[in-house]
Chains A and B, each alone.
Chain A
Amino acid sequence: MNASFESALTEVAAVPGVRAVLLASEREGLALNAMAAFGVDGDALAAFGTALYRRARLASEAAGYGATRQIVLDATGGRMLVTGCGDLVLVVLAERETGAGMVRMAMQRAARAVR
Protein backbone atom coordinates (compact mmCIF):
# COMPACT_ATOMS: atom_id res chain seq x y z
CA MET A 1 0.00 0.00 0.00
CA ASN A 2 1.59 3.21 -1.13
CA ALA A 3 1.48 6.75 0.21
CA SER A 4 -0.81 7.98 -2.54
CA PHE A 5 -3.39 5.39 -1.54
CA GLU A 6 -3.12 6.37 2.11
CA SER A 7 -3.70 9.91 1.05
CA ALA A 8 -6.67 8.96 -1.11
CA LEU A 9 -8.19 6.94 1.73
CA THR A 10 -7.83 9.92 4.01
CA GLU A 11 -9.48 12.05 1.37
CA VAL A 12 -12.48 9.73 1.29
CA ALA A 13 -12.71 9.78 5.07
CA ALA A 14 -12.65 13.57 5.02
CA VAL A 15 -15.82 13.86 2.92
CA PRO A 16 -18.48 15.28 5.26
CA GLY A 17 -20.82 12.53 6.42
CA VAL A 18 -18.46 9.63 5.84
CA ARG A 19 -18.35 7.47 8.96
CA ALA A 20 -15.98 4.76 7.80
CA VAL A 21 -13.78 3.83 4.89
CA LEU A 22 -11.89 0.60 4.56
CA LEU A 23 -10.06 -1.57 2.10
CA ALA A 24 -10.80 -5.29 2.27
CA SER A 25 -10.04 -8.43 0.33
CA GLU A 26 -13.08 -9.49 -1.65
CA ARG A 27 -12.34 -13.17 -1.22
CA GLU A 28 -11.95 -13.22 2.56
CA GLY A 29 -13.97 -10.20 3.58
CA LEU A 30 -11.24 -9.04 5.93
CA ALA A 31 -10.25 -5.40 6.31
CA LEU A 32 -6.68 -4.52 5.34
CA ASN A 33 -6.87 -0.90 6.28
CA ALA A 34 -9.68 1.04 7.90
CA MET A 35 -10.62 4.46 9.18
CA ALA A 36 -13.83 4.34 11.13
CA ALA A 37 -15.71 6.59 13.51
CA PHE A 38 -16.35 5.45 17.06
CA GLY A 39 -19.13 2.89 17.18
CA VAL A 40 -18.74 1.59 13.65
CA ASP A 41 -17.98 -2.12 13.49
CA GLY A 42 -15.27 -2.17 10.83
CA ASP A 43 -15.07 -5.95 10.70
CA ALA A 44 -18.80 -6.28 10.07
CA LEU A 45 -18.69 -3.54 7.48
CA ALA A 46 -15.86 -5.30 5.67
CA ALA A 47 -17.65 -8.64 5.80
CA PHE A 48 -21.02 -7.40 4.55
CA GLY A 49 -19.60 -4.89 2.11
CA THR A 50 -17.47 -7.50 0.39
CA ALA A 51 -20.29 -10.08 0.45
CA LEU A 52 -22.65 -7.64 -1.22
CA TYR A 53 -20.05 -6.68 -3.80
CA ARG A 54 -19.26 -10.30 -4.57
CA ARG A 55 -22.93 -11.11 -5.00
CA ALA A 56 -23.39 -8.09 -7.26
CA ARG A 57 -20.38 -9.05 -9.33
CA LEU A 58 -21.59 -12.61 -9.85
CA ALA A 59 -25.16 -11.52 -10.62
CA SER A 60 -24.00 -8.86 -13.05
CA GLU A 61 -21.77 -11.27 -14.89
CA ALA A 62 -24.54 -13.87 -15.04
CA ALA A 63 -26.97 -11.26 -16.33
CA GLY A 64 -24.55 -10.24 -19.06
CA TYR A 65 -23.82 -6.79 -17.68
CA GLY A 66 -20.07 -7.35 -17.48
CA ALA A 67 -17.74 -6.29 -14.70
CA THR A 68 -19.15 -4.52 -11.65
CA ARG A 69 -17.67 -1.13 -10.95
CA GLN A 70 -19.54 0.29 -8.00
CA ILE A 71 -22.60 -0.34 -5.89
CA VAL A 72 -24.51 2.11 -3.76
CA LEU A 73 -26.91 0.82 -1.14
CA ASP A 74 -29.24 3.40 0.38
CA ALA A 75 -31.14 2.73 3.57
CA THR A 76 -33.13 4.81 5.99
CA GLY A 77 -30.20 4.89 8.41
CA GLY A 78 -27.23 5.31 6.12
CA ARG A 79 -25.58 4.72 2.81
CA MET A 80 -22.99 2.10 1.87
CA LEU A 81 -20.83 2.39 -1.24
CA VAL A 82 -18.49 -0.30 -2.53
CA THR A 83 -15.99 -0.06 -5.35
CA GLY A 84 -13.86 -2.87 -6.73
CA CYS A 85 -10.09 -2.49 -7.03
CA GLY A 86 -8.88 -5.73 -8.53
CA ASP A 87 -9.21 -8.42 -5.88
CA LEU A 88 -9.76 -5.77 -3.23
CA VAL A 89 -12.82 -3.68 -2.50
CA LEU A 90 -13.14 -0.22 -1.05
CA VAL A 91 -16.10 0.10 1.30
CA VAL A 92 -17.55 3.36 2.61
CA LEU A 93 -20.26 3.89 5.19
CA ALA A 94 -21.83 7.33 5.21
CA GLU A 95 -24.72 9.23 6.65
CA ARG A 96 -27.86 9.00 4.57
CA GLU A 97 -27.73 12.69 3.70
CA THR A 98 -24.16 12.52 2.41
CA GLY A 99 -23.83 13.54 -1.21
CA ALA A 100 -23.15 10.38 -3.18
CA GLY A 101 -21.41 12.33 -5.92
CA MET A 102 -18.61 13.58 -3.68
CA VAL A 103 -18.06 10.18 -2.13
CA ARG A 104 -18.05 8.47 -5.54
CA MET A 105 -15.38 10.80 -6.86
CA ALA A 106 -13.18 10.34 -3.82
CA MET A 107 -13.63 6.56 -4.01
CA GLN A 108 -12.73 6.46 -7.67
CA ARG A 109 -9.52 8.36 -6.93
CA ALA A 110 -8.71 5.98 -4.12
CA ALA A 111 -9.46 2.95 -6.29
CA ARG A 112 -7.10 4.22 -8.97
CA ALA A 113 -4.41 4.70 -6.35
CA VAL A 114 -4.67 1.14 -5.07
CA ARG A 115 -4.65 -0.57 -8.47
Chain B
Amino acid sequence: MNDDLVYDLADEMARDPHSLAFVRLADLLRRSGRSHEARHVAFAGLERHPYLADGHDVLARIMVDGGDEVSARDEWEMALRLEPTHAGALKGLGLLAYHRGDLPTAHRLLTQAAELDPSDQGLVTAAEQVRAQLGTALPPARRATPAPPPRDPVAARAPGSAPQDRPGGVHDPRTLFASLLGDGDRTALLLDSDGLVLAGTYVDASGVEVAEEIGAQLAGLADEAGRALTYLGLGAWESLLVETQHATVAMGPSREGSIVLVAAARDSQVGFVRRLLARASRQAASWLESAA
Protein backbone atom coordinates (compact mmCIF):
# COMPACT_ATOMS: atom_id res chain seq x y z
CA MET B 1 0.00 0.00 0.00
CA ASN B 2 1.08 3.52 -0.57
CA ASP B 3 1.27 4.33 3.13
CA ASP B 4 2.21 7.92 2.44
CA LEU B 5 -0.91 8.45 0.40
CA VAL B 6 -3.09 6.85 3.06
CA TYR B 7 -1.45 9.05 5.64
CA ASP B 8 -1.95 12.16 3.52
CA LEU B 9 -5.60 11.36 2.86
CA ALA B 10 -6.26 10.54 6.50
CA ASP B 11 -4.56 13.78 7.43
CA GLU B 12 -6.72 15.66 4.98
CA MET B 13 -9.83 14.05 6.47
CA ALA B 14 -8.69 15.00 9.95
CA ARG B 15 -8.22 18.60 8.91
CA ASP B 16 -11.43 18.72 6.90
CA PRO B 17 -13.99 16.07 7.86
CA HIS B 18 -16.18 17.24 4.98
CA SER B 19 -13.49 16.48 2.40
CA LEU B 20 -14.42 14.16 -0.46
CA ALA B 21 -11.06 12.44 0.02
CA PHE B 22 -12.90 9.81 2.04
CA VAL B 23 -13.80 8.02 -1.20
CA ARG B 24 -10.20 7.53 -2.21
CA LEU B 25 -9.10 6.73 1.32
CA ALA B 26 -11.81 4.08 1.74
CA ASP B 27 -10.88 2.50 -1.57
CA LEU B 28 -7.17 2.41 -0.73
CA LEU B 29 -7.94 0.76 2.60
CA ARG B 30 -10.26 -1.72 0.89
CA ARG B 31 -7.62 -2.66 -1.63
CA SER B 32 -5.13 -3.35 1.13
CA GLY B 33 -7.54 -5.65 2.95
CA ARG B 34 -8.24 -3.21 5.77
CA SER B 35 -11.95 -3.67 5.25
CA HIS B 36 -13.03 -2.68 8.73
CA GLU B 37 -11.30 0.69 8.46
CA ALA B 38 -12.50 1.11 4.89
CA ARG B 39 -16.08 0.54 5.96
CA HIS B 40 -15.75 3.01 8.82
CA VAL B 41 -14.33 5.70 6.53
CA ALA B 42 -17.02 5.12 3.89
CA PHE B 43 -19.88 5.24 6.40
CA ALA B 44 -18.52 8.38 8.02
CA GLY B 45 -18.10 10.04 4.65
CA LEU B 46 -21.60 9.11 3.50
CA GLU B 47 -23.08 10.56 6.64
CA ARG B 48 -21.76 13.90 5.43
CA HIS B 49 -22.28 13.31 1.72
CA PRO B 50 -25.30 11.02 1.37
CA TYR B 51 -25.89 12.11 -2.23
CA LEU B 52 -22.40 11.38 -3.49
CA ALA B 53 -22.56 8.50 -5.99
CA ASP B 54 -18.85 7.74 -5.67
CA GLY B 55 -19.31 7.26 -1.93
CA HIS B 56 -22.02 4.65 -2.46
CA ASP B 57 -19.90 3.02 -5.14
CA VAL B 58 -16.92 2.56 -2.83
CA LEU B 59 -19.13 1.29 -0.03
CA ALA B 60 -20.63 -1.24 -2.43
CA ARG B 61 -17.14 -2.49 -3.29
CA ILE B 62 -16.36 -2.90 0.38
CA MET B 63 -19.60 -4.81 0.86
CA VAL B 64 -19.01 -7.14 -2.05
CA ASP B 65 -15.47 -7.83 -0.87
CA GLY B 66 -17.01 -8.97 2.39
CA GLY B 67 -19.45 -11.23 0.57
CA ASP B 68 -22.50 -9.05 1.24
CA GLU B 69 -23.86 -8.82 -2.28
CA VAL B 70 -27.32 -7.73 -1.17
CA SER B 71 -26.01 -4.59 0.50
CA ALA B 72 -23.60 -3.99 -2.36
CA ARG B 73 -26.48 -4.09 -4.80
CA ASP B 74 -28.42 -1.57 -2.70
CA GLU B 75 -25.46 0.78 -2.67
CA TRP B 76 -24.83 0.54 -6.40
CA GLU B 77 -28.51 1.06 -7.14
CA MET B 78 -28.41 4.15 -4.94
CA ALA B 79 -25.35 5.38 -6.84
CA LEU B 80 -27.21 4.94 -10.12
CA ARG B 81 -30.24 6.79 -8.82
CA LEU B 82 -27.96 9.67 -7.96
CA GLU B 83 -25.91 9.44 -11.15
CA PRO B 84 -27.49 7.28 -13.87
CA THR B 85 -24.28 7.15 -15.90
CA HIS B 86 -22.00 6.09 -13.05
CA ALA B 87 -19.72 3.57 -14.75
CA GLY B 88 -18.54 1.98 -11.50
CA ALA B 89 -22.07 1.27 -10.35
CA LEU B 90 -23.07 -0.11 -13.77
CA LYS B 91 -20.03 -2.34 -13.71
CA GLY B 92 -20.70 -3.55 -10.18
CA LEU B 93 -24.34 -4.32 -10.88
CA GLY B 94 -23.32 -6.01 -14.13
CA LEU B 95 -20.94 -8.31 -12.30
CA LEU B 96 -23.56 -9.11 -9.68
CA ALA B 97 -26.00 -9.96 -12.46
CA TYR B 98 -23.38 -12.23 -13.97
CA HIS B 99 -22.85 -13.81 -10.59
CA ARG B 100 -26.48 -14.82 -10.31
CA GLY B 101 -26.54 -16.08 -13.90
CA ASP B 102 -28.57 -13.22 -15.39
CA LEU B 103 -26.51 -12.89 -18.54
CA PRO B 104 -28.78 -10.51 -20.50
CA THR B 105 -28.76 -7.99 -17.65
CA ALA B 106 -25.03 -8.47 -17.10
CA HIS B 107 -24.40 -7.87 -20.78
CA ARG B 108 -26.53 -4.73 -20.88
CA LEU B 109 -24.95 -3.19 -17.81
CA LEU B 110 -21.37 -4.10 -18.61
CA THR B 111 -21.68 -2.90 -22.18
CA GLN B 112 -23.14 0.39 -21.00
CA ALA B 113 -20.34 0.76 -18.46
CA ALA B 114 -17.71 -0.08 -21.08
CA GLU B 115 -19.12 2.57 -23.40
CA LEU B 116 -18.88 5.12 -20.60
CA ASP B 117 -15.36 4.10 -19.66
CA PRO B 118 -13.63 2.57 -22.70
CA SER B 119 -10.24 2.98 -21.02
CA ASP B 120 -11.11 0.19 -18.56
CA GLN B 121 -9.79 -2.75 -20.53
CA GLY B 122 -10.99 -5.22 -17.92
CA LEU B 123 -14.49 -3.90 -18.28
CA VAL B 124 -14.38 -4.15 -22.06
CA THR B 125 -13.12 -7.73 -21.76
CA ALA B 126 -15.86 -8.59 -19.29
CA ALA B 127 -18.53 -7.22 -21.61
CA GLU B 128 -17.07 -9.18 -24.52
CA GLN B 129 -16.97 -12.40 -22.53
CA VAL B 130 -20.57 -12.09 -21.47
CA ARG B 131 -21.50 -11.26 -25.02
CA ALA B 132 -19.72 -14.39 -26.18
CA GLN B 133 -21.58 -16.48 -23.64
CA LEU B 134 -24.84 -15.07 -24.86
CA GLY B 135 -24.07 -16.51 -28.25
CA THR B 136 -23.94 -13.28 -30.15
CA ALA B 137 -21.24 -12.43 -32.66
CA LEU B 138 -18.07 -13.64 -31.05
CA PRO B 139 -14.96 -11.50 -31.35
CA PRO B 140 -11.58 -13.25 -31.25
CA ALA B 141 -11.22 -14.31 -27.64
CA ARG B 142 -7.53 -15.03 -27.62
CA ARG B 143 -4.60 -13.83 -29.57
CA ALA B 144 -2.45 -16.29 -31.43
CA THR B 145 0.65 -14.32 -30.56
CA PRO B 146 2.58 -15.01 -27.36
CA ALA B 147 1.14 -13.26 -24.36
CA PRO B 148 3.03 -10.27 -22.99
CA PRO B 149 3.81 -10.45 -19.31
CA PRO B 150 1.43 -8.68 -16.98
CA ARG B 151 2.88 -5.39 -15.77
CA ASP B 152 0.29 -4.54 -13.23
CA PRO B 153 -1.69 -7.20 -11.43
CA VAL B 154 -4.38 -4.66 -10.67
CA ALA B 155 -5.06 -4.29 -14.32
CA ALA B 156 -4.05 -7.84 -15.07
CA ARG B 157 -6.80 -9.53 -13.20
CA ALA B 158 -9.60 -7.66 -14.84
CA PRO B 159 -13.11 -8.33 -13.60
CA GLY B 160 -14.01 -10.12 -16.79
CA SER B 161 -11.10 -12.46 -16.36
CA ALA B 162 -12.67 -14.26 -13.46
CA PRO B 163 -16.41 -14.51 -13.79
CA GLN B 164 -18.07 -15.36 -10.53
CA ASP B 165 -19.23 -18.81 -9.60
CA ARG B 166 -22.79 -19.48 -10.49
CA PRO B 167 -25.31 -20.67 -7.93
CA GLY B 168 -25.00 -24.35 -7.34
CA GLY B 169 -21.24 -24.63 -7.47
CA VAL B 170 -18.23 -24.09 -9.71
CA HIS B 171 -18.88 -25.28 -13.25
CA ASP B 172 -15.78 -23.81 -14.80
CA PRO B 173 -12.43 -24.36 -13.03
CA ARG B 174 -11.45 -20.90 -14.19
CA THR B 175 -13.95 -19.45 -11.72
CA LEU B 176 -12.80 -21.51 -8.73
CA PHE B 177 -11.38 -18.55 -6.83
CA ALA B 178 -13.64 -15.82 -8.15
CA SER B 179 -15.64 -15.46 -4.95
CA LEU B 180 -12.43 -14.94 -2.91
CA LEU B 181 -10.83 -12.36 -5.10
CA GLY B 182 -13.19 -9.44 -4.96
CA ASP B 183 -13.06 -6.72 -7.48
CA GLY B 184 -10.15 -6.50 -9.79
CA ASP B 185 -6.81 -6.40 -8.01
CA ARG B 186 -5.99 -10.02 -7.17
CA THR B 187 -5.60 -13.29 -8.92
CA ALA B 188 -5.26 -16.95 -7.95
CA LEU B 189 -4.21 -20.11 -9.70
CA LEU B 190 -4.08 -23.79 -8.85
CA LEU B 191 -1.15 -25.48 -10.56
CA ASP B 192 -0.25 -29.14 -10.82
CA SER B 193 3.19 -30.43 -9.89
CA ASP B 194 4.45 -29.58 -13.38
CA GLY B 195 3.25 -25.99 -13.18
CA LEU B 196 0.26 -26.58 -15.46
CA VAL B 197 -2.92 -24.73 -14.61
CA LEU B 198 -5.67 -26.77 -13.00
CA ALA B 199 -7.97 -23.92 -12.00
CA GLY B 200 -8.15 -20.17 -11.84
CA THR B 201 -7.28 -17.68 -14.49
CA TYR B 202 -4.85 -14.87 -15.13
CA VAL B 203 -5.56 -12.34 -17.83
CA ASP B 204 -3.15 -9.53 -18.53
CA ALA B 205 -4.02 -5.90 -19.08
CA SER B 206 -4.67 -6.48 -22.77
CA GLY B 207 -7.14 -9.26 -22.07
CA VAL B 208 -4.83 -12.16 -22.91
CA GLU B 209 -4.78 -15.28 -20.76
CA VAL B 210 -1.27 -15.71 -19.32
CA ALA B 211 -1.96 -18.26 -16.60
CA GLU B 212 0.22 -20.95 -18.18
CA GLU B 213 3.19 -18.62 -18.52
CA ILE B 214 2.89 -17.31 -14.98
CA GLY B 215 2.36 -20.81 -13.63
CA ALA B 216 5.41 -22.18 -15.37
CA GLN B 217 7.62 -19.34 -14.15
CA LEU B 218 6.58 -19.51 -10.53
CA ALA B 219 6.12 -23.26 -10.05
CA GLY B 220 9.85 -23.69 -10.58
CA LEU B 221 10.37 -21.44 -7.62
CA ALA B 222 8.50 -23.88 -5.41
CA ASP B 223 10.85 -26.64 -6.56
CA GLU B 224 13.82 -24.53 -5.55
CA ALA B 225 12.25 -23.86 -2.16
CA GLY B 226 11.70 -27.57 -1.62
CA ARG B 227 15.34 -28.33 -2.38
CA ALA B 228 16.54 -25.69 0.06
CA LEU B 229 14.31 -26.95 2.85
CA THR B 230 15.34 -30.54 2.37
CA TYR B 231 19.01 -29.73 2.56
CA LEU B 232 18.66 -27.37 5.49
CA GLY B 233 16.49 -29.86 7.39
CA LEU B 234 13.63 -27.42 7.86
CA GLY B 235 10.86 -29.88 7.12
CA ALA B 236 7.98 -29.49 4.72
CA TRP B 237 7.25 -26.16 3.09
CA GLU B 238 4.13 -24.32 4.08
CA SER B 239 4.27 -21.13 2.06
CA LEU B 240 6.53 -18.94 0.00
CA LEU B 241 5.95 -15.22 -0.19
CA VAL B 242 7.69 -13.02 -2.75
CA GLU B 243 7.47 -9.25 -2.50
CA THR B 244 8.32 -7.56 -5.76
CA GLN B 245 8.24 -4.13 -7.27
CA HIS B 246 4.72 -4.50 -8.68
CA ALA B 247 3.10 -7.37 -6.81
CA THR B 248 3.10 -9.56 -3.77
CA VAL B 249 2.97 -13.22 -4.71
CA ALA B 250 2.30 -16.06 -2.30
CA MET B 251 2.19 -19.76 -2.96
CA GLY B 252 1.67 -22.87 -0.93
CA PRO B 253 1.33 -26.62 -1.38
CA SER B 254 -1.99 -28.31 -1.87
CA ARG B 255 -3.13 -31.89 -2.41
CA GLU B 256 -1.27 -34.31 -4.67
CA GLY B 257 1.72 -32.04 -5.19
CA SER B 258 -0.31 -29.18 -6.56
CA ILE B 259 0.44 -25.54 -5.76
CA VAL B 260 -1.88 -22.66 -4.99
CA LEU B 261 -0.64 -19.26 -6.10
CA VAL B 262 -2.13 -15.88 -5.35
CA ALA B 263 -0.93 -12.48 -6.49
CA ALA B 264 -2.04 -9.05 -5.45
CA ALA B 265 -0.99 -5.54 -6.29
CA ARG B 266 2.04 -4.28 -4.40
CA ASP B 267 -0.11 -1.93 -2.35
CA SER B 268 -1.80 -4.89 -0.67
CA GLN B 269 -0.59 -5.64 2.82
CA VAL B 270 1.56 -8.75 3.13
CA GLY B 271 -0.62 -10.15 5.89
CA PHE B 272 -3.66 -9.81 3.70
CA VAL B 273 -2.00 -11.74 0.88
CA ARG B 274 -1.12 -14.54 3.29
CA ARG B 275 -4.72 -14.73 4.43
CA LEU B 276 -5.85 -14.81 0.84
CA LEU B 277 -3.47 -17.70 0.21
CA ALA B 278 -4.88 -19.61 3.17
CA ARG B 279 -8.42 -19.17 1.94
CA ALA B 280 -7.53 -20.09 -1.63
CA SER B 281 -5.69 -23.18 -0.38
CA ARG B 282 -8.75 -24.37 1.51
CA GLN B 283 -10.91 -23.81 -1.53
CA ALA B 284 -8.45 -25.63 -3.77
CA ALA B 285 -8.20 -28.60 -1.42
CA SER B 286 -11.95 -28.88 -1.27
CA TRP B 287 -12.22 -28.67 -5.04
CA LEU B 288 -9.52 -31.28 -5.59
CA GLU B 289 -11.17 -33.59 -3.10
CA SER B 290 -14.54 -33.28 -4.79
CA ALA B 291 -12.93 -33.80 -8.19
CA ALA B 292 -11.09 -36.93 -7.06
Contact = CB atoms under 8 A, between A and B. Distances in A.
Interface of A: 41, 44-45, 48-49, 51-52, 55-56, 59-60, 62-78, 80, 93
A48 B228 contact: yes
B237 interface: yes
Interface in B220-265: 220-221, 224-225, 227-229, 231-247, 249, 263
Contacts, number: 104
B182 interface: no
A73 B249 contact: no
A63 B224 contact: no
B217 interface: yes
A49 B229 CA distance: 10
Contacts of B235: 75-78
A75 B218 contact: no
A41 B149 CA distance: 38
A31 to B, nearest CB: 14
B150 interface: yes
Interface residues of B, number: 36
A14 to B, nearest CB: 22
A65 B150 CA distance: 7
Nearest to A71: B242
A94 to B, nearest CB: 10
29 contacts: A41-B232, A48-B231, A52-B221, A52-B224, A55-B220, A55-B221, A60-B249, A63-B150, A64-B151, A64-B204, A65-B245, A66-B244, A66-B245, A67-B244, A67-B245, A68-B243, A70-B243, A71-B242, A73-B229, A75-B229, A75-B234, A75-B235, A75-B236, A75-B237, A76-B234, A77-B235, A78-B234, A78-B235, A80-B232
B214 interface: yes
Interface string B176-215: 0000000000000000000000000000100000000110
Contact of A64 (B150, B220, B241): B150
A52 B230 CA distance: 13
A56 B239 contact: no
B214 A63 contact: yes
B238 A74 contact: yes
B232 A63 contact: no
Contacts of A49: 228
A52 B238 contact: no
Nearest to B241: A72
B238 A69 contact: no
B244 to A, nearest CB: 4
B218 A63 contact: yes
A65 B13 CA distance: 33
A9 B204 CA distance: 40
Among B229, B237, B244, B245, max chain A CB count under 10 A is at B244
Interface string B12-45: 0000000000000000000000000000000000
B149 A64 contact: yes
Interface string B75-106: 00000000000000000000000000000000
B234 A72 contact: no
Contacts of B242: 56, 60, 65, 68, 70-71
